[in-house]
Amino acid sequence: MKSDSLQIGGHTFKWGSRTHVMGILNVTPDSFSGDGILAPPNSTGTGVSGAVGEVDAALQQAKQFLESGADILDVGGESTRPGSQPVNAEEELGRVIPVVEAIAGEFPDALISIDTYKARVAEAAFRAGAHILNDVWALRADPELASVAAAFRAPVILMHNRSNPASVEVRAQLGNAYLGSTYENLMEDVKRELLASVELAVQAGIEQTQIILDPGVGFGKTREHNLELINRLDEIRLLGFPVLLGPSRKSFIGFTLDLPADQRVEGTAATVAVGITRGADIIRVHDVKEMARVAKMADAIVRTNPR
């Protein structure tokens, strides 16, 4: 390990001692999981409309997550589901900054990560109270992003991603999935590309002790790729960095169990439990209460010092 711990404000992450839980706060109208806080156009779904309603809904969800055991609240304003439309920086800022400010004000001890690949959004989020950068493009989408994270001394989560918007499979009820890129060797390719992003981070002045790796389950990978990645997650861990696993409700679970996104809690639990046995340090999930319990039970079995 580059370091066995990470200090963020008053929070200490001692890697290997227990699994940390990141709760997903989607400030979007088109989340694949159906949990977006914003209401889709012409929709009568669970989302809400209007800035005040959005912030109130986000605060309520944040409170529930924290009470259920979340260590980090991950705020994102652009859906990453296959086939989703990109959001410009102005719209993303309008979605996430009021939410970050409100959470930081209401829950000053809460750790907030900003799920963005745009430097402008990240900088505004850090100024609003966010602590961590969660970048699904691992510093490769915006050349200014690494220097922003370095300037704020923010830990960064670097996710492997070979998503191709032109290669999306649509199945009724199960949602969209990437067909996956061609890999010469799945694990070696993922490791090599993650380390290339680590080098980008280091060159920008980000300390290695502040880098967390995410193998990118569901991003530019087939169902079989995703299953293999989770089963061999320990190989990513051997790179020497803490590892985040984000399998929650994703389509590879749906395709395996033939179930829609709102019926994938048990499948997610299985992936989380196996991921923990393979060395996951953080799990990024929608169902915080349930997955925090899964993590606690798995930790009791495999960790030397479980909570």
pLDDT digits (tens, 9 = 90+) for 79-127: 876 556 788 999 999 999 999 999 999 999 999 999 999 999 999 999 9
Residue 18 annotated among the catalytic residues of the structure: no
Q: Residue ranges per domain, the chain?
A: 18-302
The pLDDT > 70 percentage for the chain reads 84
Q: What's the number of CA atoms in the CB half-sphere (13 Å) around residue 170?
A: 5
* Residues 22-66: tens digit of each pLDDT: 999 999 885 544 455 654 544 444 444 445 688 999 999 999 999
Main-chain dihedrals φ then ψ at residue 202, nearest 5 degrees: -65, -40
What pLDDT was estimated at residue 38? 56
What pLDDT was estimated at residue 3? 80
Q: What is the C-alpha separation between 97 and 90, in angstroms, rounded? A: 11
Mean pLDDT for the stretch of residues 1-29: 92
Exposed e or buried b for every residue in 222-255, given b needs 16+ CB within 10 A?
bbebbbebbeebebbbeeebbbbbbbbbbbbbbb
Range scoring the smallest mean pLDDT among 19-23, 68-72, 174-178, 213-217: 174-178
* Residues 239-279: tens digit of each pLDDT: 999 999 999 999 999 999 999 999 999 999 999 999 999 99
Mean pLDDT for the stretch of residues 278-300: 98
Catalytic residue among 284, 289, 303, 307: 284
The fold adopted by the segment(s) 18-302 is TIM Barrel (3.20.20)
> Is pLDDT at 282 greater than 50 in this prediction?
yes
Helical ranges in the chain per DSSP H: 51-68, 89-106, 119-128, 145-151, 186-203, 223-231, 233-237, 251-257, 265-277, 288-302
Catalytic residue among 118, 250, 264, 278: 250
Residue 284 annotated among the catalytic residues of the structure: yes
Mean pLDDT for the stretch of residues 67-86: 86
Global pTM reads 0.89
- Laid out side by side, the sheet with 156-159 consists of 211-214, 156-159, 132-135, 111-115, 72-76, 20-26, 282-285, 244-245
> Is pLDDT at 137 greater than 70 in this prediction?
yes
pLDDT range class, residue 170, cuts 50, 70, 90 = very low
Residue 143 vs residues 88, 115, 146, 185: alpha-carbon distances, Å: 16, 16, 7, 28
On average, the pLDDT of the chain sits at: 89
Q: What's the number of CA atoms in the CB half-sphere (13 Å) around residue 137?
A: 16
**What single string gives the DSSP state of each residue in 133-165?**
EEETTTT-S-TTHHHHHHHTT--EEEE-----T
What pLDDT was estimated at residue 86? 81
Cβ-based neighbour number of residue 167 at 10 Å: 14
What pLDDT was estimated at residue 46? 43
